[in-house]
Structure 1
Amino acid sequence: MGCCASLRSKKIASPENRMDSLHIDAGTFVLTNDKRFQEVYMLRTVVSTSQYYEVRAAIHRETNEDRLVKIFRKDITPKIAYEKLKIEIAITKTIDHPNVIKFFEIFEEPSKVYISMEQCKGGELFEEILKRKNFSEQQVAKIMKEIFSALAYMHEQGIVHRDLKPENILLEDKDDLINIKIINFSTATILKKDAFLSGVIGTAYYIAPEVITSNYNEKCDIWSAGVVMFMLLSFYPPFDGNSDKEILEKVQRGTINYKNPIWTSISNQAKDLISKLLCPLDQRLSATEVLTHPFIVENALIPDSDQQNLVSAFQNLRGFRNSNKLRDAVQTFIATQCISAHDSKALKEVFKTIDTNGDGKLSKEELLSHYKKVMGDDHAEEEVSQIMKEVDTDNNGYINYTEFLKASISQKTLVSSQNLRRAFDLFDSDKSGSISAAELKKVLQGGNNTDDHVWKQIIKAFDQNSDGEIDLREFEEIITRSL
């Protein structure tokens, strides 16, 4: 750090000037941990196994939080499967939606790769289908609303799953059907607007006909979701057979098997929606359109969150201030990596309540409508405009899930001494007791094209004792200032 820095250069080095261009999101902090996996987690029971990996329950040693861990053995994983793993990590990191599985961190050791992710104690939706005798139409509608909410968000981002099926949908809790998580993005891809894909990918029962015969787009996921809905209502697949070849031939013919007597008791609304999902590509609804279908709108009503939770969330949103990007980065890390499942559960329900159209993000109109109900009309427009200004840190015109979490949770909880210490330790990778420009860059660089000089200037802006690094006291001052 130059000892002759002028007052003018100090002004230029302010966090507002130097960090505004940095892009910070939930995926920024899904990093490869340099520690050994067993130092951080205790492995528990095997949840499921596949050809190249197993999924096990685990406990985070420091926080005692439950996790799922996907474990790949390098010696039996072929190159193509390893490449799919890289794709799965890259795509899942970009998705910020309450109904898509969240990754926490990656461990790469000489013989294995570990992916730590959210725990879902309810197991696979497929297992729930097998053990239940029936689902009510209200239950089906609520499950499908969550699936289509995630698909609407993903498709807007250009993400196509390509293997949506009940085995790739987890229930967050036992006996709770309204909180699902879509998993397994190993066959997912990014699709540019108005472009098409080719190549048969997926599982026979759920593959859309155009995937078999021609080019296809994101609506292949809509077909797959339609098959899931059909099975939830009837407990058998719409296209069955003794082999994949026989199943795919029936898929191409498109003749749905409605012969089971159960269909006499299923509503016309449900049948109408299925007919608009399991149909030719050019007639098929988009995920956003499905969310406005009467079957979803009338049957998947989400009860308002506890009034006190709504009031508390809006009070915290109203008091949130986005003072600088370093503080924003730390708060994002804490909201996505440190807050317990218990603390975030109530806020997730508040988010869903406010997200009236179910697209996985909050518009100003949605915020204003619920703000008036909860907080009253006085100054509502002004207050909500201020909330949007402060909380929408990526300036896309909406409040996404992580932006909502970090702004609506109690600041006292968010910046507790334990959470601040974990955040500091993330940056202080060499455990020297202070954060250097190189360490700051290592965590925050990501896709940001920022030269080394800028990182040094950021350090200088917050370095109160002018030693060229940020110690824990300086770090805490940066984050807690103005709270």
Structure 2
Amino acid sequence: MGIFTSKPLPKPKPNPYARREPPESMTPVETPRRKPNPPPSPAKHLMAALLRRHASVKPNAAEIPEGEEEAGLNKSFGLSKKFTSKFEIGEVVGRGHFGYTCSAIAKKGDLKAHKLAVKIIPKSKMTTAVAIEDVRREVKILRALACHPNLARFHDAFEDSDNVYIVMELCEGGELLDKILERGGKFTEDHARTIIVQILNVVAFCHLQGVIHRDIKPENFLFSTKDEDSPVKAIDFGLSDIIRPDQKLNEIVGSAYYVAPEVLRRSYGTEADIWSIGVIAYILLCGSRPFWARTESGIFRSVLKASPRFDDDPWPSSSSESKDFVRCLLCKDPGRRISAAQALCHPWLRDHEKVKLQLDVHVFRPMRAYMRSSPLRRAALRALSKVLKADELYYLEKQFGLLNPDANGGITLETIKMALMRSATDAMKESQILDFLEPLNALGYRKMHRDEFCAAALRVHQMEIVDGWEERARSAYAIFEKDGNRAILIQDLASELGLSPTVPIHAVLQEHIRHSDGKLTLQGFLRLLHTLHPCSPAKTP
């Protein structure tokens, strides 16, 4: 599914998403659909990339003529051909742009007499190599992640000459989108929290494995049963991919109202899923969409430029924790956006009974930089770690505990690998996370204890956008002055900052070193901190 492929919302239902405008300006709520002739817009080239993905709409008719497909496509998936002997197809329970889902009954085997769901993808729809690879990857990812309780359980996949069949758990409670419509969009904070916790549980697990969903939206979360306390299950990994921790993707995929700004800029990682969860959280808590426009290009402009509003009802009466939580998810800078594991440690969620804390791959990014840093940089980080707030420490201490079950011990490269292997799937192996840990090899010979871990794993860029950063930075500098500051030459500072030792650079750095004793000034200290965790450069496959 792409930006234009989500199904329209039922027209008779109330409009929970609409901006609070005069009635005459309100429009029916629909997730944008594929259109044969999309209107001209600044995002036209982005839309065209999506439309070409499955060749279902032809922005250039000369590329893929009507009724034809790319030559030489191999539509054999190596799956079992025994679907019809094992399952009896029932009624259609859902339709997507490239396939449909039916109920089914298992006729034999361990699942005999069980009611299941079967996603049927016609091979006639697979008119491009990209479409075929999407199906292969979906089956591979579902097979790898099948164990998570908040993911619709994958049972098996089959094929014949006409279709691919993906056999899944049947969730009979309906879509989260339907629940939103039934309630007029507004959920209580407690109910919204219960849903968001479960979404984050499964997304944190996916991100640990190196899987990015890329189409997080209410339609892709189902309730297992019709019970009020039914668990929430993620579905539809048709746009998902396996990504290395240091990799950036550039394909424009997703659904318009939920797409992250960095996706539109064509350089993104797992943080894009977190943005989409933030949009869902905003909708659940207030019944409106945070980014809205009448056209696809308008939606994109709003996502890129606008800020979510928290001054309209019911936000003034909402808890400060819920508003802070949504802001943390909808941070436009992906380098400063909180991760799924961090979100589960946020004060609004962390005491919820359904929280399942996950190891966060994001802690290894600053740790890699720390292990490569000079003693001066490490001293600056240790000073900053001493002014962390309780909420920031809570997350880091939880991560330390996941890496080292022995609370009194230190972590080593071996304990890190053991912690990862406890949750490892085939997807994690493909995401090459163990190779990403190579800069931590020094921990094969020594231990890193709690205090050092908190310094090594903190994300400076996130701290810089929190209220009171200047005061905290000054407090950290005072600690650094006492415990870690030392004389440094300008050429050494330039090297620390990764700058070429030229005369103009030396002139810029003069204010970073005190003339009286050759030690770092406050500006130099901040500059040093700022280089510790720069946003990673885009890396595409």
Give the TM-score normalised by structure 1.
0.56
**Consecutive unaligned residues in structure 2, runs of 5 or more:** 1-76, 357-396, 408-416, 431-541
Change in 2 beyond 3 A, CA 1:32/1:66: same
Q: Please tell me the residue identity of whatever aligns with 2:340.
A: A
Letter in 2 for 1:33: S
The residue identity in structure 1 corresponding to 2:135 is: L
TM-superposed deviation, 1:64:
1.0
Structure 1 gaps, min length 5: 1-29, 305-356, 369-393, 403-446, 448-483
Partner of 1:218: 270
* 1: CA distance, partners of 2:288 / 2:238: 26
Greater RCO, CA 8 A, separation 6+:
1
Does 2:107 align with 1:61?
yes
CA distance in 1, matches of 2:168, 2:234: 12
Deviation at 1:181, TM superposition (A): 1.3
Q: Structure 2: how far apart are the matches of 1:55 and 1:169?
A: 15
1:317-328 mapped onto 2 (5 Å cutoff): none
Q: Secondary structure at the match of 1:78?
A: coil
Amino acid at match of 2:244: K
**Deviations along 1:157-208, whole A, 9 cap, x unmatched?**
1111111111111111113455111111111111112221213211110011
Q: 1:32 aligns with which of 71, 79, 90?
A: 79
Out of 162, 180, 186, the position equivalent to 1:129 is 180
User: Relative to 1, partners in 2 of residues 1:231 and 1:89: Cα closer, same or farther, differing over 3 Å?
Assistant: same
- Asked if the contact 1:121–1:171 (Cα under 8 Å) also holds between the matched residues in 2, the reply is yes
Aligned pairs, how many? 294
Preserved contact between residue 79 and residue 157 of structure 2 (Cα < 8 Å): yes
1:41-440 aligned at under 5 Å gives the runs: 41-62=87-108, 63-79=112-128, 80-95=130-145, 96-133=147-184, 134-177=186-229, 179-279=231-331, 280-298=333-351, 300-302=352-354, 365=405, 400=423
Per-residue deviation, 1:364: 8.8
> Relative to 1, partners in 2 of residues 1:362 and 1:57: Cα closer, same or farther, differing over 3 Å?
farther
1:274 CA displacement: 0.4
CA distance in 2, matches of 1:244, 1:167: 19
Q: CA deviation at 1:399?
A: 5.0
SS at match of 1:32: coil
- Give me the identity figure in percent: 32
SS of the residue corresponding to residue 125 of structure 2 reads coil
Moved more, 251-260 or 39-48: 251-260
* In 2: Cα distance, 1:197 partner to 1:250 partner: 22
Q: Deviations over 1:85-121 (max 9, x none)?
A: 1111111211132112222111211112211011111
Q: Are 1:106 and 1:114, in contact at CA under 8 Å, matched by a contact in 2?
A: yes
Distance 2:418 2:247 in 1: 27
Conserved 8 A contact 1:33-1:106? yes
Q: Please identify which structure carries the higher helix content.
A: 1
Residues 362 and 400 in structure 1, CA contact (< 8 A), matched pair in contact too = no
Which structure shows the bigger proportion of residues in strand conformation? 1
Contact 2:209–2:424 (8 Å) recurs in 1: no
Secondary structure of residue in 1 paired with 2:282: helix
Opposite residue 273 of structure 2, the aligned amino acid is D
User: What is the letter of the counterpart of residue 71 of structure 1?
Assistant: I
Q: Which has the larger radius of gyration?
A: 2
Provide the rounded CA distance (Å) in 1 between the counterparts of 2:175 and 2:320. Answer: 28
8 Å CA contact 1:108, 1:114 repeated in 2: yes
Q: Distance in 2 between matches of 1:302 and 1:108?
A: 37
Change in 2 beyond 3 A, CA 1:282/1:400: closer
Opposite residue 161 of structure 2, the aligned amino acid is P
- The amino acid that maps onto 2:249 is L
| 2:99 counterpart letter in structure 1 | Y
Q: For residues 431-454 of structure 1, what are the alpha-carbon distances to aligned partners after superposition, in whole Å with 9 as ceiling and x for unaligned?
A: xxxxxxxxxxxxxxxx9xxxxxxx
The change in CA–CA distance for 1:255 and 1:112 in structure 2 (over 3 A counts) is same
Contact 1:31 1:105 in 2 (8 A): no
Tell me how far 1:34 sits from its aligned partner: 3.3
Moved more, 268-277 or 92-101: 92-101
Write the deviation string for residues 28-60 of structure 1: whole angstroms up to 9, x where unpaired. xx993332x232112222111122211011111
Shift of 1:83: 2.2
Matched residue type, 1:83? E
- CA distance in 2: counterparts of 1:161 and 1:68, whole angstroms: 20
Instruction: Give the C-alpha shift of residue 82 in structure 1.
Output: 2.6
The aligned amino acid for 2:315 is W
Q: Find the aligned partners of 1:303 and 1:94 in 2 and give their Cα distance.
A: 22
Give the letter for the 2:269 counterpart: N
Partner secondary structure for residue 350 of structure 2: helix
Indicate how the Cα distance of structure 1 residues 131 and 358 shifts in structure 2: closer, same or farther if over 3 A, else same: farther
Letter of the aligned partner of 2:320 in structure 1? N
Scaled by the length of structure 2, the TM-score of the pair is: 0.50
Separation of aligned partners in 1, 2:398 and 2:94: 31
Aligned to 2:475: none
